[in-house]
Structure 1
Amino acid sequence: MKIKNRLSLYFALITAVILFVALFIIYFAFNSIVRTDFDNRLLDRAKVAAQLYLKADEISSDSLSNVRKRYLRQLTGEVMRFYDNRNAPKFINDNNQHWNDKIINLVRKRHELIFTEGDHQSAGIYYKDNQGDFVILVSAIDIQGNKRLDDLIEIMAVFMITSLALLFFVGRWFAQKSLKPLDDMVQQMQQVRASNLSMRINEGNGKDEISRLAQNFNRLLMHLENAFELQQSFVTNASHELRTPVTSIIGEVEVALHKDRSVQEYDLLLRSVLADAERLKETITGLLELAQVDMNYTQAILSPVAIDELIWEVNDYWTKRIGKGMFTVNILGLPEDPEKLSIPANKALLTIALNNIIGNAYKFSNNKPVQCDLYIDNAKITITITDQGIGIPTAEAQKVFESFYRAGNVASHHGNGIGLYVTHKIISLFNGSITIDAAQPQGTAVKVEFKR
């Protein structure tokens, strides 16, 4: 069953329950009013009958007969009895007891009693007169009241059936209108293929659940697009980057084996092979990092990462590796709320990103000191890593984030152009930004920023 039909059905059922309860209350209230009205009529009838019969000696028989015909018209199934203090019937030529002593005594005790016997409604009063003390009981069937109740049930049934049918179609129209953005989204999703992962669906006004669904689907598409880009980059460039040093090593070894060489020549050959092997190692390391980012990009487990603690861990790592005083951390500002020190991220990936930046800083500055400035406030977290290296040409400051791209002034340094590309992907994964302030040849400042 489609969601719109299911919603319409649920809407109609819920409304039916509410409507049924409301109609039941109305029927119960109307039934109570009708019965109370008829009970009061019976009481009044008993009181009038007492006046007529017990005061009959004060008026003529003709007048009594006229009053009886005028005010005591026969009711459906009517029974009227007068009982004296011995519970014996009086005045009416019918010796049938009709009501037992228990009922008669209860009326005498309470002076006024209303009760129901089957389909009859009954009322009784205790009346004192100069002729004696009497119990007067009247019983009848409220034909008109029952007919009104039956008519009310029919009207309610027709109203409920008509209302439910109307509510179902109105609910279906409302559900169809409400879910139209979802239908449009499904149509747009159906157009997504592996060849057009750059496509994004309309996110609407960004305030309702459907917009949030669209945003999350677009985020998924972005992750898939990046994963495909990483895979394509690996296939396109990895073979070339791996083939070049391997081909160089094989060629140099083949030349060396062609004839005997001197010790100096073998030394030069081994150094050249070592350089190619180191280049191959760097490429493989970069590709492994790239593969790790590719694997975690769409399934990274996010948890709160304290940036200040991470910076000090990175500081300990590079101090041990490069030497004391070679990596300086400056805390420029910290918020009072300790929760503002953390961001949702994957600590392992974030460590790779920072180490790539710091590694490049040392590589292109011949191991000169590197400075890390940390500034955190309620709005953002900013990490700035500054080196004293050769810098990056301004025109190439953004291109270095492309896969396997190397700036024109780093030809004399080993590298594969993967590090900053991986770093950019990791920072973007955690909704951060990375920019480069290149000031060749004074050095380079890489700024990483995470906004709240």
Structure 2
Amino acid sequence: MNSLRLRLVILFLLVEAAVILSIGALAFHRSRRALLESLDAQIHARLETLAAAIEERGPGEPIESELSRDWLEDFQGGDRFFEIAQPAGPVVLASDSLDGRTYGVSRGWLDGAEIGDETYHFDSWDGEEIRLARTLVSPTLPMGTDLTEENRDQAYFVQVGERTEDLRDKQGDLIEYIAFVSAGILALSALLVLTAVTLGLRPVRQLAVAARGITADRLDVRLPESTLPTELRPLSRGFNQTLARVEAAFQREKQFLADASHELRTPVSVILSAAEVALRRERSVAEYTEALETSRAAAQRMQSMVHALLDLAETEHAASQAPRQAVDLAALAAEVTEFLQPLAQTHGVTVTHRASPQSVIVRGDPQRLRELVSNLTSNAILHNRPGGRATISAEAAGTEALLRVEDDGPGIAPEHLPHVFERFYRVDRARARTRGGSGLGLAIARWIVQVHGGHIDVTSRIGQGTVFTATLPRA
């Protein structure tokens, strides 16, 4: 059952059925009680008539003399009966419907009974259910007098019974009526709910139609928001935000492929050109050696760029699974400073490490963090001036660890600062190629910092130098 519309209709009908069932049960209970009270009222009236006949008859007069003929004829059928007896004696008067039989005096009821007591309960008569009422009447004893062995001959035990078949028939009719009305209400409700749910889900279908129109070539299309019901606007807004991120990622990937193709085209062209020139005619050993050296340098540049691309891809897609352990950022900065001394000497740059008075511990992937420090330091060396300086430091600042790489190079113009962490972005492309940069080092550095829950910032002033600051959470 995958249909949301069907689920909503069934859920509503189940709830409504439970409500109708509860209301129907309550209505049946109250109606049954009303029918029973009506029957008890009729039986009570007959008891009152018999009690009055006992109390008002004259000395020596029979009880039936106080009862009308019509009243007695009402008991000639088999639906009801009455019986009057003395607790200690025989039956004094009984209706014709008993056919000379006695219904009997309940000794258990008489024990502890008082004059005027009256009870109602269900019993049986000739195998059928009846409603039976009993009372104790005396023409001489006051109401509330306990029945004893001494005064039993002054009291009369009166009982009236009536078959409940008519009551059961009325209850059956009531059940049928409630069931019929409930079924009608449920059927009408199902139709109304189905219509309402269909209309209510129409905006969802409109969203689905709009979403199907979004393809790889139409990622700029957005779902409507203002025309949707309030409940669906967060869904549309969230989808549009996701779509915007997908579009941005798609554009980045397209730009990435375009940039990578462009960057790889140059070394490939160099290799092809060197090979073509060398093959045009016979060359000397020195000329062949020069062509091979040129090809090797271009191939090394390609290899470096491919490694950087693979490294960036791994950083983006697999960094969340990288092992994490405690790493002393200050010690790591000192190691990288020592490791990059040959590169710094080659470019005439002095690299120093500003020692921290305490350990600066972070949790992360040691290899990635080493790559972060190395990329930032290499960048400070490669883009510095001859005779320039670069300083690496790590320090604790509250709950954060700060890795700072400073140089006194030419600096970066303000218009370039927002883009320095983008892939293949170079402030000076010509100089960057001569220095062998891939244009991916800072992009990799940013991803490493972000994967470790931090952020990286850059400040620079033309002619005074640049400062990169990576902020990471301390362990």
TM-score by length of 2: 0.68
Which amino acid in structure 1 is aligned with residue 156 of structure 2? F
Residues 180-207 of structure 1: CA distance to partner in whole angstroms, max 9, x if unpaired?
5533432331121111234443567999
**Cα distance, 1:317–1:208 mapped onto 2, change above 3 Å:** farther
The 5 A counterparts of 1:138-177 are 138-141=160-163, 149=171, 152-172=174-194, 175-176=197-198
Worse overlay, 361-370 or 265-274: 265-274
> How far apart, CA to CA, are the structure 2 residues paired with 1:272 and 1:113?
121
Structure 1: unaligned runs, 5 residues or longer? 335-340
1:188-227 mapped onto 2 (5 Å cutoff): 188-202=210-224, 210=232, 213-214=235-236, 217-218=239-240, 220-222=242-244, 224-225=246-247
In structure 2, the partner of 1:49 is: 50
Match in the other structure for 2:108: 106
Q: Calculate the aligned-residue CA RMSD, in Å.
A: 5.0
Whole-angstrom CA distance in 2 between matches of 1:77 and 1:17: 38
The letter for the 2-side match of 1:12 is L
Q: Is the 8 A contact 2:54 2:139 kept in 1?
A: no
Q: Aligned equivalents of 1:206 and 1:318: distance in 2? A: 55
Shift of 1:83: 2.8
> What is the alpha-carbon distance in structure 2 between the residues aligned to residue 426 and residue 183 of structure 1?
42
1:201-260 alpha-carbon deviations (Å, 9 max, x no partner) = 356799988555445544553554455445434543334433432443465577679544
Match status 1:387 vs 2:393: no
Name the CA shift for 1:8/1:55 in 2 (closer, same or farther; >3 Å).
same
Aligned to 1:127: 137
2: CA distance between counterparts of 1:18 and 1:287? Answer: 65
Q: What is residue 337 of structure 1 aligned with on the other side?
A: none
| Secondary structure at 2:111 match in 1 | helix
Encode CA deviations 1:308-361: one digit per residue, 9 max, x unaligned. Answer: x6xx55544343222399455989xx9xxxxxx99xx99998987776555534
- Amino acid in the other structure paired with 2:103: W
Q: Which has the larger displacement, 219-228 or 350-359? A: 350-359
Tell me if structure 2 keeps the 8 A contact 1:107–1:125. Answer: no
Identity %: 20
Q: Distance in 1 between matches of 2:21 and 2:378?
A: 74
- Give the secondary-structure state (helix, strand or coil) at the position aligned to 2:217: helix
Alpha-carbon deviations, 1:399-425, whole Å to 9, x = none? 444432311274343222233445667
Q: Which residue of 2 aligns with 1:92?
A: 94
For 1:224 and 1:400, locate their aligned partners in 2 and report how far apart those are by CA, in whole Å. Answer: 23
Query: Which residue is 2:347 aligned to?
Result: none
Provide the rounded CA distance (Å) in 2 between the counterparts of 1:93 and 1:397.
115
Gapped regions of structure 2 (runs ≥ 5): 141-152, 340-350
Structure-2 change in CA distance of 1:445 and 1:7 (3 Å): farther
The equivalent of 1:13 in structure 2 is 14
Q: In the aligned structure 1, how far is the partner of 2:195 from the partner of 2:323?
A: 45
Following superposition, the deviation at residue 176 of structure 1 comes to 4.6
TM-score, with length taken from structure 1: 0.71
Paired AA for residue 416 in structure 1: S
CA distance in 2 between counterparts of 1:222 and 1:429 reads 22
Q: Tell me what 2:390 maps to.
A: 368
Tell me which moved more, 40-49 or 56-65. 56-65
Q: How far 1:138 sits from its partner (Å)?
A: 0.8
The verdict on how the C-alpha distance between 1:369 and 1:246 changes in structure 2, with shifts beyond 3 A counting, is same
Confirm or deny: 8 A CA contact 1:361 1:370 kept in the other structure. Answer: no
Contact 2:354–2:393 (8 Å) recurs in 1:
yes
Deviation at 1:374, TM superposition (A): 6.9
Q: Secondary structure at the match of 1:156?
A: helix
Q: CA deviation at 1:13?
A: 1.3
Offset, 1:174:
5.0
SS in 2 for 1:195: coil
Which amino acid is 1:24 matched to?
Answer: A
Secondary structure of residue in 1 paired with 2:94? coil
Q: Match of 1:194, SS?
A: coil
1:160 and 1:189, CA in 2 relative to 1: closer, same or farther beyond 3 A? Answer: same
SS state of the match for residue 387, structure 1? strand
* Partner amino acid, structure 2, of 1:394: P
Question: Hey, what does 1:186 align to over in structure 2?
Answer: 208
* SS at structure 1 position matched to 2:424: coil
Alignment of 1:80 with 2:82, yes or no, is yes
Q: Is the 8 A contact 1:46 1:137 kept in 2?
A: yes
Alignment partner, residue 338 of structure 1: none
Q: How far apart are the structure 2 equivalents of 1:318 and 1:359? A: 12
Q: Distance in 2 between matches of 1:177 and 1:150?
A: 40
Contact 2:274–2:291 (Cα < 8 Å) also in 1 = yes
Larger radius of gyration: 2
Over 3 Å counting, the alpha-carbon distance change for 1:221 and 1:110 in structure 2 is farther
Residue 424 of structure 2 corresponds to residue 404 of structure 1: yes
Number of residue-to-residue matches in the alignment: 427
Q: Would the alpha carbon gap of residues 207 and 185 (structure 1) be closer, same or farther in structure 2, given more than 3 Å must change?
A: closer
Q: Deviations over 1:251-278 (max 9, x none)?
A: 557767954446xx89977775664344
Instruction: Name whichever of 249-258 and 345-354 sits farther off.
Output: 345-354
Residue in 2 aligned with 1:414? 436
Counterpart of 1:444, as a letter, is T
Look up the equivalent residue of 1:168 and give its one-letter code. Answer: A
